[in-house]
Structure 1
Amino acid sequence: MITCFDIGGSTIKSAHARQGGEIEILDRVATPLDDFDAFAAIIAERVTWGGRTARGVSISITGVVDPASGSLKCANIPCIDGRNVAADLERVIGLPVWIANDADCFALAEATSGAGKGHRNVFGVILGTGVGGGLVIGGRIVAGAGGYAGEWGHGKALQTVVGQPAVEIPHFACGCGQRGCVDTVGGARGMERLHHVLCGEVLPSTDIIASWRKGEAKASRTLEIYLELVSVPLALTLNIIGSSIVPVGGGLSNVPELIAALDREVRRRTLRSAADPLLVKAELTTEPGLIGAATVGFQEIAHA
């Protein structure tokens, strides 16, 4: 058994796992943002929950681990930002600790237990508040747990002149410090930003999508530009990595028409001619972070 965690800026979710796809949910608590001792205590308490002792701890987290130094970049949880969290937690609980990025865990869960099962090369895409991704080849996260592979949402990738008739779109500043990243337009907040620039309206993404579904002209223009801006770098990414399936998670994945439209735009821009959809809604709608974290842990034990 291992204890697995899915940690975000608001909550820590925990579970016991006997194998990757089978988890027993423990609880959900608020994430201590500024107190590492309190953060570590939550992890330590759940390792022995119910009188059982885990073989190790596996964590899916919102952040990335530098593969060389082990240092975690996690801006929304200040008490662990810049720490070698695995090593620090190991000293507290006396067990091995493995940490992986949450998008990587999502991709791994989908590759082993979800929409990507049976595919060797799976690229998991998150279209939520922002944009994320994780690459799994041969059932393993590429670049190891917590690496930067799959982060297609960052880098100066966006076109500035798009649509018919053409319109000029500025390169927006991104939270990563660059400008023109897919993350600035590809998630729900990005769609809202794009709609404001194009149409002068401040609307939540849910309203934009509802109007698009009805064929409203302004929303349709926003989605036309959105689809072109997002599909071009995603198609390029797939040309490079060669994935045969792309499970999509995050809030925008709950709009089937949007995923279908994005899939059509991506497939017509990729070199590989695919008759079947590449982009599909993720199958694991319940706790993919915990399932992915558990899978990471059992893989690490098996390869120890």
Structure 2
Amino acid sequence: MRAPFRFGIDLGGTKTEIIALEGADERLRERLPTPQGDYQATLETIACLVRDAEQQLGGTGSVGVGIPGTRSPDHGRIKNANSTCLIGEDLQGDLENLLQRPVRLANDADCFTLSEASDGAAAGASNVFGVILGTGVGGGIVINGQLLSGPNAVAGEWGHNPLPWRTAADGPPRRCYCGLDDCIETFLSGPGWAARSNLGVNATHLAEAASRDEPSASQAMQRYCEQLARSLASVINLLDPQVIVLGGGLSNMPQLYQQVPPLLVRHVFSDRVNTRLVQARHGDSSGVRGAAWLWPEHTQG
């Protein structure tokens, strides 16, 4: 009988994707639309993807799922999910009953970080901080190949810390959806950056204008890089990671890798900064690959 595969599921807002890894090699990838607002249909979609993958590959596998939220360590149910039909549900238990095997869950930013630390841009590093810069700002921490988790299941949630070393040049306060003012997410997410730039365009158009050296957009880019440098410096002062990996739509802006590293030293408590700032190797695939990596190879069989 074939050695078992590792199945990773990326449960997104619009699509649910499965990947099958054999070692570090991709053997299969499929996706289905995510049912909107229907928890039972979401469970069936995940189960259908796993069963179809096993039929195509002729072997069974472990299952890891990346979710847009967190499994509470207090009651085991989902919290902080922007797919609201998941909130309060025992997603892990329900999937284990459907699939008749253990299932591991992790936040999608954690899966991203685990992927890049396992066989991505930070492979071989013992201390990795993964960053999502997109519609929101998320993060994950991997130490010696293991996701860092704590009693509140919020490790890496740097986007809901306040912007450090704030000045008047950062603009007026803005309320975050979490109820607090001036969270990092209100500056560094795509919608946050666009709103604070006051140019009437979204983040994609803002980045394109900056790449053409349009003055107002270039100024917005410089301010973004300076705010990102301050925010990452506070992480470096706390975790001292070997590598910081950037993912999400805004991570594709080349200015980040040119402008941010020289700005870090002003705020990092060191005479030089040896932390590497890199772009994700697996891009949009990091989340689903990381879900598969929730089961290391040596735990299978």
TM-score (norm 1): 0.87
In the alignment, structure 1 residue 219 sits paired with structure 2 residue 225: no
Give 3-state SS (helix, strand or coil) of 2:113's partner: helix
In structure 2, C-alpha distance between the alignment counterparts of 1:273 and 1:92, rounded to whole Å: 55
For 1:250-265, what aligned pairs fall within 5 Å after superposition? 250-265=248-263
Determine whether 1:12 maps to 2:12: no
Report the CA distance between 1:104 and its aligned residue.
0.7
Distance 2:32 2:278 in 1: 31
- 2:230 is the alignment partner of 1:229: no
Cα separation, partners in 2 of 1:168 and 1:23, compared to 1, 3 Å: closer
Give the distance between the partners of 1:120 and 1:84, measured in 2 at CA.
33
Match of 1:156 among 146, 150, 162: 162
Alignment RMSD, CA only?
Answer: 2.5
Question: Are 1:125 and 2:131 counterparts?
Answer: yes
Match of 1:85 in 2: 91
Q: Which runs of 5+ in 1 are unaligned?
A: none
Instruction: State the partner residue of 2:101.
Output: 95
**2:71 corresponds to:** 65
Structure 1 equivalent of residue 153 of structure 2: 147
Equivalent pairs: percent with the same residue?
32
Instruction: State the alpha-carbon separation in 1 of the partners of residues 271 and 158 from structure 2.
Output: 21
Alignment partners' CA distance in 2, 1:210 and 1:15:
32
Separation (CA, whole Å) in 1 of partners of 2:231 and 2:284:
29
How far apart in 1 are the matches of 2:10 and 2:152? 13
Residue 94 of structure 1: CA displacement? 1.4
Q: Is the 8 A contact 1:31 1:39 kept in 2?
A: yes
Q: 1:168 to 1:277 in 2, by over 3 A?
A: closer
- Please tell me whether the aligned partners of residues 152 and 234 of structure 1 are also in contact (alpha carbons under 8 angstroms): no
TM-superposed deviation, 1:96: 0.7
Tell me by how many angstroms 1:74 deviates: 4.8
2:186 maps to 1:173: no
Comparing 122-131 and 214-223, the one that deviates more: 214-223
| 2:240 match | 242
1:16–1:26 Cα contact (<8 Å) kept: yes
SS of 2:85's partner is: coil
Deviation of the 1:275 alpha carbon: 6.0
Contact 1:33/1:78, CA 8 A, preserved across alignment: no
CA distance in 2, matches of 1:202, 1:119: 41
Matched, 1:266 2:264: yes
Q: Which moved more, 1:128-137 or 1:29-38?
A: 29-38
Query: How far apart, in 1, do the equivalents of 2:284 and 2:230 lie?
Result: 30
Q: Give the 3-state SS of the residue equivalent to 1:287 in structure 2.
A: helix
Q: How far apart, in 2, do the equivalents of 1:192 and 1:226 lie?
A: 10
Distance 2:133 2:51 in 1: 35
Q: Is the CA contact (8 Å cut-off) linking 1:74 and 1:80 kept in structure 2?
A: no
Q: Aligned to 1:79, what secondary structure does the other structure show?
A: helix
Query: Is 1:267–1:278's contact at 8 Å kept on the other side of the alignment?
Result: no
Q: Which amino acid in the other structure matches residue 297 of structure 1?
A: W
Could you tell me how far apart the structure 1 residues matched to 2:298 and 2:76 are?
Answer: 16
Residue 34 (structure 2) aligns with: 31
Match of 2:184 among 179, 182, 196: 182
Amino acid of the residue matched to residue 206 of structure 1?
Answer: T
Instruction: Report the TM-score when normalising by structure 2.
Output: 0.88
DSSP-derived class of the 2:106 partner: strand
> What's the CA shift for 1:182?
0.5
1:296: which partner in 2?
294
Measure, in 2, the Cα distance between the counterparts of 1:169 and 1:159.
Answer: 13
Instruction: Report how far residue 294 of structure 1 moved.
Output: 1.0
CA distance in 2, matches of 1:195, 1:229: 13
